Structure 1
Amino acid sequence: MVDETREHGVRQAAFARLDQLIAQHPDAVPAARLLEGFEWQGRRFTLMGQGPGIWKPRGLDAALSILTAPPKPGEPPPYDDDWLDETQLRYAYRGTDPSMWQNAALRLAYEHQLPIVYLYGVAKSRYLPVYPAFVGRDRPAELAVDVVFQAGDEDRGVAMEIDGRAYVTRPTRQRLHQHGFRVRVLEAYRRRCAMCALRRGPLLDAAHIVPHSEPEGLAVTANGLSLCKLHHAAYDQWLLGVRPGDLRIEVTRDVLDEIDGPMLRHGLQDLDGESLRVLPRRPVDRPSDERLAWRHERFRQHGGPMR
């Protein structure tokens, strides 16, 4: 028999600990910190296991967390096709036996509607925890469950119903992918702007070379540039571009001809003809020539120099 008082108590303590960890590691929580665990009534529980997949710590009957592994270098996030929509994830059982202890623990979380933690891998040994999540449907014939994510702010959510249970959800898939993309790109560029080398973290963004709305706009590091807020905005507004091959920055003629203060001169005009100042060390993370060429052609269409 499931001790629901204990199950809920441990989960409340887990969420409180995750609140602390996210405050300390806002980009992504290191696996080592998740493995440290937390205490509840004098007993220690860990937030994840040493291996992948479904985690049920000793002392609980139902699963506490599920995990999606980080993407490999140069590859998009794994299991992307398992998202049913922006708010629901199809999560596979471990193996092919629904009664295996990990699968049984996950199904118990469904049967008792116990909240769980979804650990989304954004980089090697680094995870973004999403909680509370719920198992909204069990699909033993398909060796999977459907996971639904509950939003804390109802004004930002969309009400939906699964098996008669109402949840408030938000576009979790998009948020996770964009957050993971940002972490990977900024780390590849050593948390500096590729154009001006600014290293002030809160002022840096991960800019897409090919927009994520396009088929080739994958959330891979080679489709990104680490840019400060100014240069990201200028890049998105087609005021400057990056030439494929030599990676030189080009600024539009109207910006070069404009007369204004020192920010325009030093922040934009002086970049014309300069090479990117910061690049990833690993070749697989460097901006893709094919994607840069795609972007550069559209930059020309928006008034970029024909050179």
Structure 2
Amino acid sequence: MDIEPSELTKREALMQALAEKFAQSAVLKREWLSRVDFGFGTERIIDTSKGIWNPSAYAATLTIISDPQSEYDDGDHDDFLYRYSYEKRPAGQDPRGGSNAKLRDAMRLRLPVIMLRKVDKGQFVPIMPVYVIKDEPENQRFLLTLDESLRFLTDPAVLSPEERRYAERTTRQRLHQPVFRARILDAYERQCAVCTLKKAPLLDAAHITEDSFEHGVPVVTNGMALCKIHHAAYDEKILGISPDYVVHINPDVLAEVDGPMLKHGLQEMDRRPLLLPARRHDHPDRDRLAARFDAFKDAG
């Protein structure tokens, strides 16, 4: 089966629409995914009951759902690929058939697929594009890559050390960081923990223990929702947050005289209590804050 050029165009237009919506809202809700207008009429782009969505007008699978809490053995594979289990088939039927057949077609036709990573009930983060690069019927699963370049290798599961480092970094950036941001912004009700700005496109999920460190895991207690200026100030040690959840500004910066941005955006934040999530178990980890605050004080 060959594909019409318009199919790839439609997939690209859909990914653009999802990216724009995600930038504005930090999460995609099932209700919205059920009626998406991306320039070709309104379409449902998520299945109502299954994890693989194969609309009849498309040559191959359009979207797949990844649910960390599901019964399927989905997840990272060697830190740079993603395994996606076959959809379960009735006893006696070929496990390669059904919805799995069209996901295999996506591999054969080299078509991009959209992964909808579930972060809460009816809430998803788009991971895109992903490519099906290997079918493992013996394990009843597919292997997917989030890095377009890997799909052209003879065996994407076997990489050189340099290729592996690159692929691991790409997987971390494209899979774990968007999910981390969605969970952080949800915990902080989409507002900056320092200044309470409520503009989602201007909010970041800031790590407390940096993600480049061994223990810089993407969990809510290792993050805070910060607007871009306060995130940058935190990374540059202009702004610090003590383990008692109080904001501090570098003394040298407090002594500076500049324009209104410095005065209202930074200096007036000094000694301000940090906005905390409503759920106590989402509060920033005090030990992580203490270690980061020590570095802030040393820099000052």
Q: TM-score, normalised by structure 1?
A: 0.73
Equivalent residue letter for 1:228: C
- Distance in 2 (alpha carbons) for counterparts of 1:173 and 1:52: 26
* C-alpha spacing 1:23/1:262, structure 2 compared with 1 (3 Å): closer
CA distance 1:225–1:18, change in 2 (3 Å)? same
* Corresponding residue of 1:155: none
Aligned to 1:106: 103
2:76 corresponds to which of 63, 78, 81? 81
Query: Alpha-carbon deviations, 1:233-267, whole Å to 9, x = none?
Result: 221111221111x3112233333344444443443
CA distance in 2, matches of 1:264, 1:45: 47
Does the alignment pair 1:94 with 2:87?
Answer: yes
Secondary structure in 1 aligned to 2:240?
strand
Kept in 2, the 8 Å contact 1:56–1:65? The answer is yes
Task: Give the drift of 1:286.
Answer: 1.9
* 1:87-236 → structure 2 map (5 Å cutoff): 88-95=81-88, 98-149=95-146, 158=149, 161-163=152-154, 171-236=170-235
Deviations 1:39-94 (A, max 9, x none): 9x99x96422123533334566743322212689xxxxx95533642xx3222223
Cα displacement (A) at 1:114 = 4.2
CA distance in 1, matches of 2:259, 2:111: 58
**Aligned counterparts of 1:260 and 1:19: Cα–Cα separation in 2:** 40
Contact 1:98/1:104 (<8 A) preserved: no
Q: Percent identity?
A: 37
Question: Counterparts of 1:233 and 1:253 in 2: how far apart (Å)?
Answer: 17
1:168-225 per-residue CA deviation (whole Å, 9 max, x = no partner) reads x992541332222223222322222211222333433221111111232222222211
TM-score (norm 2): 0.75
CA 1:175–1:71 in structure 2 vs 1: closer, same or farther (change >3 Å)?
A: farther
Structure 2 alignment gaps of length 5 or more: 157-166
Q: Are 2:216 and 1:242 equivalent residues in the alignment?
A: no
2:54 corresponds to which residue?
Answer: 56
Partner of 2:20: 23
- 1:201/1:48 Cα in 2 relative to 1: closer, same or farther (>3 Å)? closer
The 1:196–1:130 alpha-carbon spacing in structure 2 relative to 1, beyond 3 Å, is closer
Within 2, Cα distance between the matches of 1:22 and 1:61?
23
| Paired residues of 2:147 and 2:170 also in contact (CA < 8 A) | no
What does the per-residue CA deviation read over 1:248-301, in whole Å, with 9 as the maximum and x for residues that have no partner?
12233333344444443443333332211x222122222122322232233333
The number of aligned residues is 281
Instruction: State whether structure 2 residue 293 is matched by structure 1 residue 296.
Output: yes
Contact 1:83 1:173 in 2 (8 A): no
CA contact (8 A) 1:137 1:145 kept: yes
1:285 pairs with one of 282, 285, 293: 282
Offset at residue 9 of structure 1 (A):
5.7
